[in-house]
Amino acid sequence: MPDDHQNAAPAFLVEGGVRRHGRLPARPVRVNPLDEFTGPSRLLRRLRLKEWAGFTLLHPDLWSSMIIQDAQYLASCEIYAHDRRTGTLHQHAANARGGSPALPEELLDGGHCAFDRPGHRLVYDFAEREGRHTIHVDVAATATAPAMRAELTLDARGAGAPLSVGSLLPGGGRMYTHKAVFPAEGVLRVGSTEYVFEPGRDLAILDEHRSFLPYRTRWLWGTFALPTADGPVGANFADRPELPGEPEESAVWAPGACEPLGEISFTPERPDDPAAPWRIASRDGRLDVVFAPEGRKTVRHRFGLLSIDYFQMYGRYQGVLRAGGADHPLDGVHGVCESMRARL
């Protein structure tokens, strides 16, 4: 329950200049990775800080994700929606000055996270003590995509146990991430099409990241979840360069628990075919799934020494997840899987 999570949470990610590492019982009340540094070092580290907060929405007729991100030199906001019935993908993106989005240090209890530009507004309001969070979307139509509007309420009391991890990365990097699964209720409208979210069926997965990433960064990552009578069940899994002994963000969500996973392998069946399934498994066998893509969102940019080669696939997971001492069969569970290669 949120109150239990909050009571277990440390007050700060960094306290007295000392940063917490490892798997934490909950998100610290205040997360500011810059607090580890002072003076010129803090200024230089700010340029390396990458922050974002996003949601993956899980609905039987829809794949949709959204993100507000701040790379300090540039901020951006993206949202997409893919209709399963028509196979149509619509997406919107906007940029802003670095540092302009509101990505609060104290997020879960009273945090207001916003990207607000004319015609492109995305707002998250967090109210854990009240047992709910909200997502507000108001994006105007463009020449290439219809308007998107949403009012979604997330049930914080019905959330799964949180994933909260801080670790050291190769090349002097540092990672912090917080992830959680919430039952979702409300409406997302894409043009004239309306998607109604029902809290007993539909979910939203929060992904918050505040990290100093190495200049050359790469990862493979995926997530999915499904509701059960006892609470959400799902997984978050990643493969990236890491230091021996450092905790990673891979985990399974079981009712009332978040259990570590490790040594994840991502194996596309046909690497030259972007529509081919991927086999994803943990070494201990608790995660053993096949991901079948139904579409992808691609981002490629080159700005001199900076570059991004990224894609996120959305589709269905099939297989088995062993969590909470039980086997959970997966049959067409919605989720995403992505690849990032960047020079940041």
What DSSP line would sit under 271-285, residue for residue? TT-TTS-EEEEETTS
Output Rg (C-alpha) for the chain, integer angstroms.
19
Please give the pLDDT value at position 73: 87
Cα–Cα distance, 195 to 90 (Å, whole number): 14
In this prediction, residue 127 carries a pLDDT of: 98
Element (H, E) at 330: strand 326-343
Alpha helices in the chain (DSSP H): 2-8, 39-48
**Alpha-carbon distance values, 159 to 3, 37, 163, 181, 279 (Å):** 11, 34, 11, 6, 28
- Per residue in 98-115, pLDDT (tens digit) is 999 979 999 999 999 999
In this prediction, residue 321 has a pLDDT band, given cuts at 50, 70 and 90, of very high
Q: Please state, rounded to an integer, the average pLDDT across all residues of the chain.
A: 94
Q: What one-character-per-residue DSSP string does 232-291 give?
A: -EEEEEEE----TT---S-EEEETTEEEE---EEEEESSTT-TTS-EEEEETTSSEEEEE
What is the pLDDT at residue 305?
80
Here the tokens at position 85 are 């019935």
Mean pLDDT of 72-99: 95
Report the share of the chain in percent with pLDDT over 70. Answer: 98
Tokens coding 319:
């297989």
Distance CA 156, CA 15 (A): 27
Average pLDDT over residues 41-47: 91
Residue 301: per-residue pLDDT:
82
| All residues at 6 or more sequence positions from 123 whose CB lies less than 8 Å from its CB, including other chains | 112, 113, 114, 115, 116, 134, 135, 136, 137
Q: Write down the pTM of the prediction.
A: 0.95
98: Cα within 13 Å, side-chain hemisphere: 10
Whether the Cβ atoms of residue 254 and residue 323 lie closer than 8 Å to each other: yes
Q: Most distant CA pair in the chain: distance in Å?
A: 55
pLDDT in tens, 249-286: 999 999 999 999 989 999 999 988 989 999 999 999 99
Alpha-carbon span 34 to 99, nearest angstrom? 14
Instruction: Classify residue 161 by its DSSP letter.
Output: P
Could you give the CA distance from residue 108 to residue 121 in angstroms, rounded to a whole number? 20
Instruction: Encode pLDDT of 152-171 as tens digits.
Output: 999 999 999 999 999 999 98
Once rounded to an integer, what is the mean pLDDT over residues 190-213? 97
Query: At 6, is the pLDDT very low, low, confident or very high (cuts 50, 70, 90)?
Result: very low
Question: pLDDT higher for 67 or 262?
Answer: 67
Q: What are phi and psi of 236, to 5 degrees?
A: -130, 130
Q: Which residues pair with 281 in a beta bridge?
A: 265, 288
| Position 1 pLDDT exceeds 70 | no
* The pLDDT of residue 89 is above 60: yes
The CA distance from 237 to 337, in Å, is 9
For 281-293, what is the mean pLDDT? Answer: 96
Residue 5 has pLDDT above 60, yes or no: no
Q: pLDDT tens digits, residue range 215-234? A: 899 999 999 999 999 999 99
First-to-last CA distance in the chain? 37
**How many whole angstroms separate alpha carbon 41 and alpha carbon 299?**
32
The answer to whether residues 202 and 183 touch, using CB atoms and an 8 Å cutoff, is yes
What residues have CB less than 8 Å from 331, skipping those under 6 apart? 318
Give the residue from 32, 11, 1, 50 showing the smallest Cα distance to 105: 32
Token reading at 135 = 């997502």
Return the pLDDT at 53.
98
